[in-house]
Each structure stands twice: as C-alpha cells, then as structure tokens.
A and B are shown apart, each in its own frame.
Chain A
Amino acid sequence: MHEFSLVRSLLRQVGDLLVEHGGVGVKAIRVEMGPLSGVERQLVELAFDQEVVMTPCRGARLVIEEVSLTAICQDCRAEFQMQGFDFVCHSCESRQIQITGGDEFRLLDVDIAVSEASRSELHQRV
C-alpha cells in the first residue's frame, strides 16, 4: 500500500503552491485517477483524511475525478476507450497501442484562499 506516501507527496506539493501563491489556506485539491493509476480510491481517501490535518492544507476537500482508460493505436491511429484490460485496438485489433489516459495519479488543480490584504500587497509590489 503506497497511497500514504503518494498522498504525503501530494500534500507537500500543494503546500509549496500555497506558499508560492501567498495563500492563507487550501479549500480544495482536485486529483484524477483511472484503472491503471496504481492507487485505490478508498486508500487515497483514508490517507488524505489522516495526513491532511498535519499539514498547512488542513481543512481542504479532496475531489477525486475518476477517468476511464483510453488509448491510441500506433497502427491505425484510432483513439478509443478500453474495456477492461484487453490491450487491443478497437478498430484494427492491433496490439501496438499506447495508453493516453487513466494510468496516472494526477494533481489537476488547487483552490487556495488568498486574503484580500495580501492580494493588494501583491498588487502594490507589482
């Protein structure tokens, strides 16, 4: 189970963004996962609930978007959604296909709270 280590890394990255953007808190963290991401949704949620309280992201909501497995055929260039784990092209039955989605655990975006004061300060500096 490597979800805890991945979630800790995720929270570290969001923490860095928070500092970089001069935010005062994190509202929401949006991530994407699919059938070949190598993570279990429930374990990610469990890890997030346990870990987030110990970080500057405390109070943030985790929004998980589940995507399906998609691929492109190297032979006929057809793009398609895979059914299960049969790595075969839907059009020409070639096995030379490349996965284009659903095999990563991605950080999509982060909603951070920025205080009005620090915003205007930021503007003045600019």
Chain B
Amino acid sequence: MTTTNKTVPVHRDVKAELRQQAEEMRQTFAKRGTLVVNVLSSPGAGKTSLLEATARHWGDRRRMAVLVGDLATDRDAQRLAPHCPVEQLTTGGACHLEIPLVKQGLAKLGSNDFDFLFIENVGNLVCPASHDLAEHVRVVLLSVTEGDDKPGKYPKMFRTSQALVVSKTDLLPHVPFSLDAAIRDARQIQPDLTVMPVCSLSGEGLEQWCRYLDDQRKDMIAKSVTDEVRVAV
C-alpha cells in the first residue's frame, strides 16, 4: 500500500479541552454564587487544618463544602466530615487533581448550593500548578518550616496563585524563616499576590483569611452580574 504524508496543524495546549470545561464550570459556579477555591501546598503544609479552622470559624454563617484529593486514603475527608459536606477524590496514585475527578466529586456531593467550594489538592508544589480545576481563586500554602526561599523554587505554582497563606506561624520563633523574605521572593514572581499569615491551631490570622474569601466572593458575584448585563445589552 502506498502512502503519502499529510501534516495536520493543531497548535493548541494539550489541556485545551479540559481548560475549556473548567472555564464553563467557573462561569456556572459564579452565576450560582459559589466561590471555588483551589488549595495547594507541599504535603503537610496544613491545608486540611486550614479548612477545618475555616469551617469552625464560620460555623453555620457560611455554607461551605470541600472536595479533597488524596492518593489513596480518606483520612482528610474523615477529618473534615464533622464540619461540612465533604467528598474524597481518590487519584489512585496520581500526584494532582484534574477536572474529570472534580466533576465526579461534585456529582457525589449532590447539592450544589454552597457559598464556598474548596478543593484541597494533592500535596505537591509542582504538577497541580498546571491544572485548572474551575477555581476562581488559587491559594498556595507555605508553612514556615519549609523555608522562606521556596517561592522562587516553584515559580509556576506561585505565578499562577492569587493568594499565599503562610501557615504554622506559631512555629516562627523556632525556625529561621523571614516572613519579609518569603513575601519578597513570592512577589518577585507574582506581584499581585495577597499574603496572609495564619495559625490554624490558635486561629490567629483566620479573621483576615475569611474576610479575604468573603471579598473575593463579592467581587465574583459583582463581576458575574455585570457580565450578564453586558450579554443582555
């Protein structure tokens, strides 16, 4: 059989289709008034602790739910279950979450009537940075025990985040970590980064963090309304 060669041009990101899905979901969530927050960090930086503390802080004043990614166990989901609706996303060994798994989790969650939907990503500062999970806000946690030089070492993660939570601030007296140096390093990469020091154990800084989330949600709703008006006109 004789064959000829044919070049098929594509020129698009390998994740273009998933990104498109994420974009559509983001708009749907915005219209519904649900702020989606993608929470990322290295393993053990305190993501689950922050979400537990957030749920405790709000009590029943806000409706929040959590989708939590884990390689194999449901430990984080069990920790969060007493506080709010939560679904486990088991990645089966994969080091990051992708949109199809998020969709499965949402289906299992049943209700979609939330003010805030948190997605706790798998602990990893590299791969999750590349995957859009339909979030409105991407938050990266850096615990003080990890060192203040980390932002520059993980540029994609910090570049694609809107907020940085410096966690475990109660340990500051015990470790050589300069808050200023960490902030400087992070803003070198992402000048608009909002930085919030938090201790999830004592609740210090939680007020500011929760206010930030409320503000982001208000902005999202306002923006979604003007977008609709624009479409209507």
Q: Name A residues whose Cβ lies closer than 8 Å to a Cβ of B.
A: 1-2, 5-6, 9-10, 13, 17, 21, 23-25, 27, 31, 36-39, 85-88, 95-96, 99, 103-117, 119
Contact = CB atoms under 8 A, between A and B. Distances in A.
Interface string B86-114: 00000000111010000000000000000
Contacts of A6: 14-15
Nearest to A29: B10
B226 interface: no
Nearest to A23: B6
Given A85-B152, A87-B190, A107-B12, A21 B6 contact: yes
A116 B2 contact: yes
Nearest to B94: A5
Interface in B118-158: 126-127, 129-131, 152, 155-156
Interface in B184-200: 187-191
A115 B3 contact: yes
Nearest to A26: B8
A30 to B, nearest CB: 9
B164 to A, nearest CB: 15
A109 B8 contact: yes
Given A1-B95, A1-B127, A114-B6, A107 B14 contact: yes
Interface residues of B, number: 33
Majority secondary structure of chain A interface residues (helix, strand, loop or mixed): mixed
B230 interface: no
A23 B127 CA distance: 34
Given A36-B155, A87-B188, A109 B5 contact: no
B13 A113 contact: no
Most chain A beta carbons < 10 A, residue from B6, B15, B156: B6
Nearest to B126: A38
A93 B9 CA distance: 37
B15 A105 contact: yes
Nearest to B98: A5
A29 B20 CA distance: 23
Contacts of B95: 1-2
Given A2-B96, A85-B155, A87-B159, A25 B12 contact: no
A83 B226 CA distance: 39
B150 to A, nearest CB: 13
Given A24-B3, A36-B159, A88-B188, 12 more contacts: A17-B10, A27-B5, A31-B14, A85-B155, A87-B159, A87-B188, A106-B13, A108-B9, A110-B8, A111-B7, A112-B8, A116-B2
Contacts of A99: 159
A104 B4 contact: no
Contacts of B159: 36, 87, 99
Contacts of A95: 187, 191
B156 A36 contact: yes
A19 B30 CA distance: 37
